[in-house]
C-alpha cells in the first residue's frame, strides 16, 4: 500500500466515525425525549470524543501531517455543538 492509499483509507474511516458516532450522537442527544435516550446517545459520543482526544495528544492532525477533511469535520461538529447550547443540556 502506498502512503496515499493509507491516508485515503484513514480519511474514509475518520469521516465515517465522525458521521456515525459524533454527528449522529450529537443529534440524538440534542433531541432525546427521555433521560434514558439522552444517556444512550451521550455515552458513546463522549467515549468517541475521548478516543479522538487521545489520538490527538501528541499530534496536530487526525491523519498525517496536514489538514484533512476529517479535521475540518471534527472542528465543525465541535463548534456547532458548543454554539447550539439549547440542544446540549450539559453545555460545553
Which pLDDT value is given to residue 21? Answer: 74
Each residue's pLDDT tens digit, 35-65 = 999 889 888 888 888 888 898 899 999 888 8
The per-residue pLDDT for 14 is 76
**Given phi > 0 = left and psi -120 to 50 = alpha, else beta, which region is 32?**
beta
Residue 28 and residue 41 in contact, taking contact as beta carbons nearer than 8 Å: yes
CA angle 87, 47, 40 (to 5 degrees): 55
pLDDT in tens, 76-87: 877 776 655 555
Q: What is the mean pLDDT of the chain?
A: 79
Distances (CA, A) of 31 to 18, 34, 46, 67: 18, 9, 16, 31
pLDDT at 83: 59
CB 2 within 8 A of CB 58: no
Amino acid at each position: 500500500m502506498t502512503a496515499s492509499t493509507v491516508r485515503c483509507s484513514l480519511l474514509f474511516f475518520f469521516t465515517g466515525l465522525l458521521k456515525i458516532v459524533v454527528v449522529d450522537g450529537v443529534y440524538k442527544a440534542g433531541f432525546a425525549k427521555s433521560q434514558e435516550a439522552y444517556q444512550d446517545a451521550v455515552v458513546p459520543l463522549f467515549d468517541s470524543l475521548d478516543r479522538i482526544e487521545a489520538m490527538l495528544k501528541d499530534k496536530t492532525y487526525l491523519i498525517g501531517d496536514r489538514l484533512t477533511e476529517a479535521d475540518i469535520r471534527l472542528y465543525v461538529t465541535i463548534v456547532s455543538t458548543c454554539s447550539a447550547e439549547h440542544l446540549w443540556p450539559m453545555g460545553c
